[in-house]
Amino acid sequence: MTFVQTRMSGGIDDASLAAVNEERKRLMRRRFEKIGKWLLPALVLLLSLWFWDRIVVWNEIPHYILPGPGKVWTTLVTDWGLLYDALKITFRITMLALLVAVIGGAGLAILFTQSRLFEMSLFPYAVVLQVTPIISIAPLIFIYVENKLAGLLICAWIVAFFPILSNTTLGLNSTDHNLRDLFRIYGATRWQRLVHLQLPTALPYFLGGLRIAGGLSLIGAVVAEYVAGTGGIGSGLAFTILEAGYRLNIPRMFAALLIIAGTGVFIFLTLSIISHLLLRKWHESALKQEQ
């Protein structure tokens, strides 16, 4: 727009100069955005850490009330052995729960699309299960389920399976109607339609659900651990936080919290990468990321 206007008012030199300026501005803006995407959050982090540290130092707050970031870091290093063991337990339960959520969620979704009767009978209960807070179901589960691991898994599964179920169901029902007709014309069986048409159509929807479920299964695992403890299978991160709280070991609480948050981010990033790898060749979402 600027280019055209300048060209009309001034000579050709003016016009090309304006175009070059415009281009330079555009490039600078893009470079700024590229760097800013990483630099700005890092800056915010550094500032908050510094501010946190200053509050502790200036007010002379003892570390059993609020440890400074440096103290948290040294605890993370010195307690790493203990924390790592706890992480392994929590991570294992999270991953197992996610696996069960995938099998259960996607499996139910496939059953739902195969039988309307099945969907009508069960879907309301899937919703009820989803909207009831897990923290209120968990104590009951641990009364009836002897096995700690099984109980934790059930809790995490209840939290995580619903986004996979609802997303996959939506995907399985989103097939292109012309393609559906084409499959009919070529005499596709129910099974062929499911495998070659419905499942590929549902894949992006499923992956979207999976990313949500990844975070939720970690939440489910942590909440269940708070309720039940992890007696018998070693203590996970949530239990470590509880225990450290009883002992007023506040730095360790922070360190464990840091690890839980890091685990959540790690799960999200991993699932995002998997999703991108599976879709990058054909799906619109991956196309936009490439540009």
Interface with other proteins by CB under 8 A: which residues? 176, 178-179, 181-188, 192, 196-197, 200, 203, 281-283, 287
In the complex, least distance from residue 175 CB atom to other proteins, rounded to whole angstroms: 10
In the complex, least distance from residue 213 CB atom to other proteins, rounded to whole angstroms: 22
Q: Residue 83 or 202: which CB sits closer to other proteins? A: 202
Q: Residue 3 or 183: which CB sits closer to other proteins? A: 183
3-state secondary structure of 50: helix
Contact in structure between 267 and 218 (CB atoms under 8 Å)? yes
In the complex, least distance from residue 106 CB atom to other proteins, rounded to whole angstroms: 17
Q: Residue 187 or 231: which CB sits closer to other proteins? A: 187
Q: Residue 37 or 281: which CB sits closer to other proteins? A: 281
Which whole-number Å values give the CA distances from 263 to 72, 100, 223, 268, in the listed order?
17, 19, 15, 9
- Identify which of 241, 265, 258 has the alpha carbon closest to the alpha carbon of residue 73: 258
In the complex, least distance from residue 275 CB atom to other proteins, rounded to whole angstroms: 14
Whole-angstrom distance, CA of residue 169 vs CA of residue 202: 8
Residue 263 half-sphere exposure, CB side, CA atoms within 13 Å?
A: 29
Whole-angstrom distance, CA of residue 108 vs CA of residue 194: 14
In the complex, least distance from residue 32 CB atom to other proteins, rounded to whole angstroms: 31
Q: Residue 157 or 206: which CB sits closer to other proteins? A: 206
In the complex, least distance from residue 188 CB atom to other proteins, rounded to whole angstroms: 5
Q: How many CB atoms lie within 10 A of CB 165?
A: 27
Q: Write down the residue that tokens 């490439």 correspond to.
A: 290
Tokens of 265: 């981010």
Contact in structure between 140 and 154 (CB atoms under 8 Å)? no
Q: Residue 204 or 209: which CB sits closer to other proteins? A: 204
DSSP symbol at 132: S
